[in-house]
Amino acid sequence: MVQSVNSIPPLDLTQQYATIATEISDAVLGVLSSGRYIGGPLVEGFEQQLASYVGVSECVACNSGTDALYLALRALKVGAGDEVITTPFSFFSAAEAVSAVGATPVFVDIDARTFNLNVEQVAAAITDRTRAIIPVHLFGQSEDMTAIMAIAQSHQLAVIEDCAQSAGANWMGQKVGSIGHVGCFSFYPTKNLGGCGDGGAVTTNDPTLATMMRMLRQHGEQERYLHKEIGINSRLDALQAAILQIKLRYLDIWNEQRRTISARYYQLLSHVPGIVIPQELAEGEGVWNQYTIRLCKGTQTNGGTACSRDWVRSQMQERGVSSTVYYPRPIHLQPVYQDLGYRLGQLPVAEQICHEVLSLPMFPELSTEQQDQVIHSLKDCLA
Ligand SMILES: *Cc1c(COP(=O)(O)O)cnc(C)c1O
Dihedral in degrees, nearest 10, Cα atoms 74, 80, 86, 87: 120
Flag whether pLDDT at 367 surpasses 50.
yes
pLDDT at 34: 96
Ligand 1 pocket: which of 188, 290, 359, 362 to mutate (most atoms <8 Å of CB)? 188
The set of protein residues with a Cβ atom below 6 angstroms from ligand 1 is 64-66, 90-91, 93-94, 136, 162, 164-165, 186, 188, 198, 200
Pinpoint the alpha helices (H) of 111-237: 119-124, 145-155, 207-216
pLDDT at 220: 98
Flag whether pLDDT at 48 surpasses 80.
yes
pLDDT at 98: 98
SS3 366: coil
> Ligand 1 center to residue 22 CA distance, Å?
28
Residue 29 phi/psi, 5° resolution?
Answer: -65, -35
> Ligand 1 center to residue 93 CA distance, Å?
6
CB 108 within 8 A of CB 223: no
Flag whether pLDDT at 1 surpasses 80.
no
Dist CA 158 CA 181 (whole Å): 6
Q: For ligand 1, what atom is nearest to the CA of residue 136?
A: 13
Flag whether pLDDT at 112 surpasses 70.
yes
Question: 298 pLDDT band (50/70/90 cuts)?
Answer: low
Q: For ligand 1, what atom is nearest to the CA of residue 68?
A: 9
> Ligand 1 center to residue 160 CA distance, Å?
14
What mean pLDDT do residues 129-149 have? 98
pLDDT at 5: 52
Question: 301 pLDDT band (50/70/90 cuts)?
Answer: very low
pTM, to two decimals: 0.96
pLDDT at 383: 76
> Ligand 1 center to residue 104 CA distance, Å?
19
pLDDT in tens, 302-325: 444 444 899 999 999 999 999 999
SS3 140: helix
pLDDT at 382: 85
Dist CA 247 CA 252 (whole Å): 10
First to last CA, the chain: 27
Dist CA 170 CA 54 (whole Å): 9
Flag whether pLDDT at 2 surpasses 90.
no
pLDDT at 381: 86
> Ligand 1 center to residue 331 CA distance, Å?
14
pLDDT at 300: 44
Distances (CA, A) of 199 to 10, 130, 279, 326: 22, 29, 30, 21
Alpha-carbon Rg of the chain, whole angstroms?
21
Residues paired with residue 132 on neighbouring β-strands, in sequence order: 84, 158
CB 99 within 8 A of CB 105: yes
pLDDT at 214: 98
pLDDT at 173: 97
Residues of the chain with pLDDT > 70, as a percent, come to 96
Flag whether pLDDT at 362 surpasses 50.
yes
E-strand spans in the chain? Answer: 58-62, 83-86, 104-107, 130-134, 158-162, 170-171, 174-175, 182-186, 200-204, 221-223, 226-227, 275-276, 284-285, 291-295, 357-360
Flag whether pLDDT at 180 surpasses 70.
yes
CB count in 10 Å sphere of residue 298: 13
Give the chain's mean pLDDT: 95
